[in-house]
Amino acid sequence: MAEAQRTLVLIKPDAVQRELVGEIVGRFERKGLKTVGMKMTNLDEATLTEHYGHLKDKPFFGDLKKFMMQTPVIAMVLEGYDIIEVVRVIVGATNPRKADAGTIRSDLSMNVPSNIIHASDSLEASATEIKRFFKDDELFTYEMLTDKFHFGEGV
């Protein structure tokens, strides 16, 4: 059986302001992804400078960090097979106006930086990002009755 993997999701301040947290969490739950960590947290500038380091030379870097500090965010760690790809497919392209219909960004947003959600783009990044936002004792390993559907060999 394949190994389940983990990814880091941030539900951004625009989604918190627009009361879309339940809608987004519900989409991941209905898909069959297991929530193994979840909390509300304020992001600070140092954390964001690190998290968005690949964008530090972009003209919008300062505004992006300000945007991400407007309200607390919801940080989640999700577990499942092919988790990076599965979550990025559900999230959709960075520009919500170009994202595929049915994705979170396409269905719920119109602009950057306010595109609702962050998701790790590789397993390497997810390992770093999970450590950035969660302590070991904030992550959980547990059985669910539905595991047989999502992880089993068939029922």
Alpha carbon distance 123, 121 (integer Å): 7
Residues 87-106, mask of contacts with ligand IDP (x by CB under 6 A):
-------x------------
DSSP letter at 52 equals T
Residues 104-123 that bind ligand IDP (CB under 6 A): 112-113, 115, 118, 121
User: What count of Cα atoms within 13 Å lies in the side-chain half-sphere of residue 21?
Assistant: 16
Q: Residue 64 interacts with ligand IDP (CB under 6 A)? A: yes
69 binds ligand IDP (CB under 6 A): no
| Residue 118 is a catalytic residue | yes
117 touches 9 (CB < 8 A): yes
Quick check: 150 and 80 in contact, CB under 8 A? yes
Q: In terms of CB distance, is 13 or 80 closer to ligand IDP?
A: 13
For residues 83 and 5, is the Cβ–Cβ distance under 8 A? yes
Query: Which residues contribute to the site for ligand IDP (CB under 6 A)?
Result: 52, 55, 60, 64, 94, 112-113, 115, 118, 121
Q: Tell me the catalytic residues.
A: 118
